[in-house]
Amino acid sequence: MEQGRVRWILPGIDALLETAERFTVAARDIIYRQGDPSTSLFFIESGTVKLSFIDPTGKRISLPPRGPGDMFGELSLIGEKARSHHAEALQEGVLIQVPRERFLAFVRHQPELLLQLLEVLGGRIRELEDLVQDLAFRDIESRLSRQLLLLSSEYGIKTKNGILIGFRLTHRDLAEMIGSARENTTMALNRLARQGLLDKRRYQIVIKDIERLREKCGPDRL
């Protein structure tokens, strides 16, 4: 994907990214691990990245995937010394890595970028609040339905059979996104499929009835 076609989450960042380091990742490549030094941030030119928190037993919970134009690792800008999460590519793509000092030097002369960054950080906080509320107040089927709607909205591809989520997605990936065991997530997917709301194949999910899926989310949701 050419850079000029990417809509960056920070609209004024193009000049910095033109000369920054680019590298390619394959599906399931580890970009950094929880506990690694936090010295840079990343912008996604193409592909999709999963961010996961891992407890000492190995249990994971993931944030919604980051896609083209988005960034991650931004906590390095505000005092994070070691990565608080694990970053993994969900599909092949191109990432741009910007050292913390270089980013801060660039935005020092562009205060509007600092305001944009504050908006992004505010969005990340709301994202975590949504996750906490879902885990506290929603059952597995409601959480799964909401996550599928989010994924179809961000990465959906219209087909004759419905909306295809446009990247390889395992049941384990979905389980980590909704804070559930893989087995329970598979059972919830099977129930939704039997009800005609979706069609699932190997690593692919097609949303067939988006309105009924939205009803599964409960009140005040998507």
Q: What are phi and psi of 60, to 5 degrees?
A: -125, 150
* Among candidate residues 135, 151, 167, the one where a domain is terminated: 135
The verdict on 156 and 101 lying in the same domain is no
At 146, is the secondary structure helix, strand, or coil? helix
Q: Token pair of 104, please?
A: 């801060």
- Here the tokens at position 194 are 């039997």
Query: Would you say residue 52 lies in a domain?
Result: yes
222 lies in some domain: no
Residue type, 138: R
Report, as an integer, the average pLDDT of 129-141.
90
Q: What residues make up the domain containing 169?
A: 139-216
**Is residue 221 assigned to a domain?**
no
pTM of the model: 0.87
Judge whether 110 and 63 are in contact, CB under 8 Å: no
Helix (H) or strand (E) holding 175: helix 171-178
pLDDT tens readout for residues 170-185 = 899 999 999 999 999 9
- pLDDT score recorded for residue 3: 44
Per residue in 97-129, pLDDT tens? 999 999 999 998 888 998 999 999 999 999 899
Structure tokens at 2: 């050419």
Coil, strand or helix at 145 = helix
Which residue, chain included where needed, has tokens 């999963």?
Answer: 50
- Read off the tokens for 160: 């004759």
Is the same domain home to 126 and 154?
Answer: no
- Tell whether the model's pLDDT for residue 221 goes beyond 60: no
Q: Which residue has the higher pLDDT, 219 or 115?
A: 115
The answer to whether residue 61 is domain-embedded is yes
* Spatial separation of the C-alpha atoms in residues 14 and 151, rounded to whole Å: 26
Pick the last residue of a domain from 87, 109, 135: 135
According to DSSP, residue 82 is labeled B
Q: What's the CATH code of the domain at 59?
A: 2.60.120.10
Q: Identify whether residues 122 and 205 lie together within a single domain.
A: no
> What total of structural domains would you count in the chain?
2
